[in-house]
Amino acid sequence: MDSIDLEVLKTSAAWVAAGHRAELVTVIKTWGSSPRPIGATLAICDDGRVVGSVSGGCIEDDLIARVREQGITRSAPEVVSYGITADEAHRFGLPCGGTIELAIEPLGAHSRIAELLDMLEQRQLVERRLDLRSGAVALSHTGVGNVLELREGRELVTQHGPRWRLLIIGAGQLSRFLAQIATAMDYHVTVCDPREEYRAGWQVDGVQLVHAMPDDLVLEMRLDHRSAVVALTHDPKLDDLALMEALRSDAFYVGAIGSRLNNAKRRERLQLFDVTEAQLDKLHGPIGLYIGSKTPAEIAISILAEMTAVKNGVPAALQVKHAASPEAPSTPDAPNACVVT
């Protein structure tokens, strides 16, 4: 889970830069069945505009109504709770008597949101510490830790990581759907294909299309634990060398399309490049979770479902892999038929 939604930070920074008053709202604690997880955020502008979400919509409505009636008057952060009583749970749409505790922070230059965004742009992992009494903010580099921590009720500590990255090897129909959905999930997507005939006419808004050898690009990108690589060309000359470098990197997910037979042959070839067994164990293939996918759009969802499960630490025992799917492919290696099985 991303610690803080990037769109919320960017939008709130723009509001402040334009001279608006704004507040950043963060879910810091939940009880019962709450609609949004700890760390979820929302920003609200003095004109009632909002971005992000901290509930199913009812708490947002209350926050907007208060701003429109009273304006933004807070001068220091405040912790507020919704849903403590049964009546409030019903009023705000919190299921099963759930309760949400929020930190509401008035924003300004002292909030250092623009500085935080600059650090994230440089792919730094940043800890932001908010003094809940004074509103003072401190930023520092950090290692992987808790998304959010409330220290002694006095300091709200949130961890902000750089954007998740996805490198797709191959510019085809499936990669188009994969890139579109991944972009909507806030991945920074790069598509690499040295073949001119595949690049011609290929375009997805917000996605970088690169003419380079995939293995060179893998090295150039310096893949980290917030990076994923998906090979979709069916061409060993393009896929194998890139997969070799990706498996040696810190990428959290490396996957390749193809049948069970092709996957077995791929693993044999990669061993000839001195890829170790431990590195090969990181390779997802046949790629994706089993959801009965047939069309390119469904296959893209299957791939991203598996990526999401790995990213969120879902145990492998709870994932139904395509490799274990009950249905054998009728045309294992056809580019447009059962390409993930």
- CB 22 within 8 Å of CB 15: yes
pLDDT tens, the chain, 341 aa long: 344 578 899 999 999 999 999 999 999 988 765 667 888 899 999 999 999 988 877 788 889 999 999 999 999 999 998 875 666 656 665 555 567 899 999 999 999 999 999 999 888 889 999 999 999 999 998 876 667 899 988 999 998 888 899 999 999 999 999 999 999 888 999 999 999 998 988 999 989 999 999 999 999 999 998 999 999 998 999 999 999 999 999 999 999 999 899 999 999 999 998 899 999 999 999 899 999 998 999 999 999 999 999 998 998 888 888 655 555 444 343 333 334 43
Q: What is the pLDDT of residue 85?
A: 60
Nearest CA among 156, 155, 125 for reference residue 224 = 125
Q: What is the pLDDT of residue 334?
A: 37
Measured between alpha carbons, how far apart are the two ends of the chain, in Å?
28
Q: Where are the domains of the chain?
A: 6-160, 165-324
Classify 8 as helix, strand or coil. helix
The structure tokens listed for 72 are: 């933004």
Cα separations in angstroms, 58 against 64, 82, 133: 10, 10, 28
Sorted by sequence, the CB contacts under 8 Å of residue 181 that are 6+ apart come out as 300, 301, 304
CA 142 to chain centre: 19
CA 169 to chain centre: 19
Q: Give CA–CA dist 286/282, Å, rounded.
A: 12
- CB 230 within 8 Å of CB 256: yes
Q: Give CA–CA dist 260/85, Å, rounded.
A: 55
- CB 162 within 8 Å of CB 120: yes
pTM of the complete model beyond 0.75: no
Q: Give CA–CA dist 216/169, Å, rounded.
A: 12
Q: What is the pLDDT of residue 189?
A: 96
Q: Give CA–CA dist 79/154, Å, rounded.
A: 10
Q: Give CA–CA dist 103/94, Å, rounded.
A: 18
* CATH code assigned to 165-324: 3.40.50.720
The structure tokens listed for 52 are: 């992000």
Peptide bond connecting 326 to the previous residue in cis, omega within 30 degrees of 0: no
Q: What is the pLDDT of residue 83?
A: 75
